[in-house]
């Protein structure tokens, strides 16, 4: 790397190009197969009444969002810790840590966009007879794709943060199940959360991803929604859906900033 003579944009481009080369050399296309298999397995267990009645829509949406979170975290959970020695060496010769993280952030965004497309296409095919008929303000497939992308991307950014904090791949893989459990248990989809637990739920990707899918599916308007109680954050309005998307994007940005902060201590560990 050009070190001190290279500016932010140039270093970002160099780091991004290195990510792309790594994808080619490490056969990164295998992640697409993994995303397809995970989605296919979820599709096999989803009820035929998904997107038709509230209970099955909530369960099916939660399963799909959970799949996206798994795919996203697994993308990046080992990325930074695997390169820690290289980052430490290059940091001492002028590497801009912001460039490094932003490059990975942009690269992971491209990867997540492709994976979200796979998840969306397979979901649409497997729910051919009972997919969402009308979105909030866009075609339903497009709305669901945006949600899947943002969920996968924010989970990927969370994985990048964890990878920036821990010092080894073994530690990263040890922490990963706990991160996933928090996302699943604290989503509010399985258990009724109150008080402090509900506050924790508000900072989980799963809660807002689930709300976005349910909003696009008009879950609150389904005939059996009164049994479960209508959820305000799942309201099928343009303003609410955009707010949910911005929340998910906000997570991705915050995790990237925290990754830069965490990586600033790379020379000390």
Q: What is the pLDDT of residue 48?
A: 86
The maximal CA–CA distance of the chain, rounded, in angstroms, is 64
CA 103, CA 232: separation in Å to the nearest integer? 37
* Residue-wise DSSP of 83-129: THHHHHHHHTTT--HHHHHHHHHHHHHHHHHHHHHHHHHHHHHHTTT
d(CA 115, CA 159): 16
| Token duo for residue 128 | 């051919």
Instruction: Report yes or no: 212 and 153 within 8 Å, Cβ to Cβ.
Output: no
Residue corresponding to tokens 């906000």:
250
Contact 236, 220 (CB under 8 A): yes
Whether 263 contacts 80, CB under 8 Å: yes
- Mean pLDDT, the chain cut into blocks of 10 residues (269 residues total): 64 91 86 94 88 89 95 92 85 86 94 96 90 92 97 96 89 90 86 82 93 93 70 91 97 95 73
pLDDT the model gives residue 229: 65
**What does the block give as tokens for 224?**
């059996």
Residue 39: the pLDDT is 94
Residue 134 has phi, psi (to 5 degrees) of -150, 130
Burial string for 64-88 (b: 16+ CB within 10 Å, else e) reads: bbbbbbbbbbbbbbbbbbebbeebe
**pLDDT for the residue 83:** 85
Residue-level pLDDT at 119: 96
Q: Could you tell me the two tokens for 167?
A: 């010092």
Position 161 scores a pLDDT of 94
């Amino acid at each position: 790397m050009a070190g001190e003579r290279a500016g932010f944009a140039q270093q970002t481009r160099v780091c991004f190009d290195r990510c792309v080369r790594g994808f080619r050399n490490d056969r990164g296309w295998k992640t697409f197969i993994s995303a397809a298999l995970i989605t296919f397995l979820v599709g096999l267990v989803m009820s035929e009444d998904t997107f038709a009645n509230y209970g099955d829509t909530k369960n099916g949406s939660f399963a799909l969002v959970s799949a996206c979170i798994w795919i996203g975290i697994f993308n990046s959970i080992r990325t930074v810790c695997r390169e820690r020695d290289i980052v430490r060496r290059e940091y001492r010769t002028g590497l801009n840590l912001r460039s490094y993280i932003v490059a990975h952030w942009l690269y992971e965004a491209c990867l997540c966009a492709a994976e979200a497309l796979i998840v969306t296409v397979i979901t649409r095919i497997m729910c051919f007879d009972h997919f969402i008929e009308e979105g909030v303000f866009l075609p339903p497939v497009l709305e669901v794709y945006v949600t899947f992308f943002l969920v996968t991307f924010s989970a990927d950014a969370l994985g990048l943060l964890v990878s920036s904090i821990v010092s080894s791949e073994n530690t990263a893989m040890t922490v990963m199940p706990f991160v996933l459990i928090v996302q699943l248990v604290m989503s509010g989809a399985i258990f009724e959360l109150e008080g402090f637990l509900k506050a924790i739920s508000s900072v989980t990707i799963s809660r807002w991803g689930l709300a976005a899918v349910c909003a696009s599916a008009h879950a609150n308007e389904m005939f059996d929604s009164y049994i479960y109680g209508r959820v305000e954050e799942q309201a099928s309005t343009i303003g609410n859906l955009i707010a949910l998307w911005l929340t998910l994007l906000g997570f991705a940005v915050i995790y990237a900033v925290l990754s830069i902060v965490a990586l600033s201590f790379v020379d000390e560990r």
